[in-house]
Amino acid sequence: MTTLQNTQPRERLGSSWYDLVSGQLQALIPRFGLERSAARVHRAFELICSESLGLHPGVPATRSSRLNHDGTPIQFALALGHGVVPLQFLSEAGDPGLSDTDGREFIDSRVRELSALLGLKGDMDYIGALLDRSTTVNAHETDPDRGGTFWIGASFAPGGKCGLKIYINGKNGTESERWDRLDRFAAHFGDLEKQHELRRLVAGKMSPLGMAISLSGDDNPTGRVYLSSYGNRVSYYESLLEHCGGEQYADALAQFTELMLGEDRAYPTQSVVLSFGVGTETLSRRTDAKIEFCGHCLFQSDSQARDRCLRWLALRKIDALPYLDLLDVIAAGLTSPAKVNAHIYLGLGWKEQQEYTTIYLNPCAACASTSDEL
């Protein structure tokens, strides 16, 4: 029994992570009304995940990803609000053994193919140049913290609308170099002044984590900057969000943390990620903001997480069915009463003054949940 519990999910499966998640996608397509987009969903999954999830013989699956604490390199994500709910999956992309140069060429090739497949707007040469600027590593750094340089996410909604997001690790280099990289990224979208303001606001409290480029079929590419922190109190984030979006942001976060953190709200928080959109048409304040908390820091078990998520969605009068459908498929009807296997990050965001809730789930939760019972 001990040997089984200590093995990776893929080893317990007897097949590849790719096969597992592909089967989950097949089950999710009708639940999210994506039957007409099924071929594109599966092709996008193949283009993004075939190497990292071990589809091809001789190419090992990525086993040390930071996306999930168990090393699996893929997540499902939901943005739940009052509107259409797209299904998103995101993963590290490419053979983990590729050199920096080969990995960068691989990403460029896959992003171009995905953009054509999904009919997305954006000059691929322009985006390629932005990726180059955003991933430059100090040549004199002996051990740069790449931690998975790129992740790619694809989202699909009923009616055929889809999108692509390229996530860029921003943790390599010194603190100053990391901030300079975020500044160059924001300047590419014409938002350098807001970026400088953000940098002043969070000085000494948060650190650069990464960036993302979003492509869609309707709008020009936009960007996002991500910051991370550990040990700040909830009141700090309330004041920061109030400055960025108004009192309603702070009030919403207070309600969210009261429910999700419970008595732990009185103590400094653990892992938190705060992100802001750049290159979007916004008011003078940053209206495109999002704050997310590590699921392993919030909850004691997946059962507790499920209960609190459902209570929050009910409080916000948000349809919980997409969340329940996704959780049912990836956890095979099991939610661990002892561990947090499925719930990776949960958070609250605002875009164009509309609030939404984010939930990130680990597709390999069923394997881990089964081992809890052994």
Is pLDDT of 80 > 70? yes
- DSSP letter at 61 equals P
CA distances from 295 to 54, 78, 306 (A): 26, 14, 11
Is pLDDT of 89 > 50? yes
- Pick the closest to residue 325 from 19, 10, 24, 17 (CA basis): 24
Residue 8 to residue 371: CA distance in whole angstroms? 11
Q: Is 122 helix (H, G, I), strand (E, B) or coil?
A: coil
- At 369 the pLDDT is 52
Mean pLDDT of 270-285: 76
CA distances from 188 to 99, 129, 181, 219, 307 (A): 26, 10, 11, 16, 42
Residue 286 to residue 194: CA distance in whole angstroms? 8
Is pLDDT of 334 > 80? no
CB-CB contact of 152 with 90 (8 Å): yes
Which of residues 332 and 227 earns the better pLDDT score? 227
Q: Is the pTM of this model over 0.85?
A: yes
CB-CB contact of 223 with 210 (8 Å): no
Task: State whether the Cα torsion 115-65-81-227 is positive or negative.
Answer: negative
- At 145 the pLDDT is 46
- The set of residues, in sequence order, having a beta carbon less than 8 Å from that of 202 and lying 6+ positions away, is 227, 229, 240, 274
Residue type, 214: S
H or E segment and range at residue 276: strand 272-278
Mean pLDDT of 358-369: 80
Asked which of 121-130, 256-265, 293-302 is least confident by mean pLDDT, the reply is 121-130
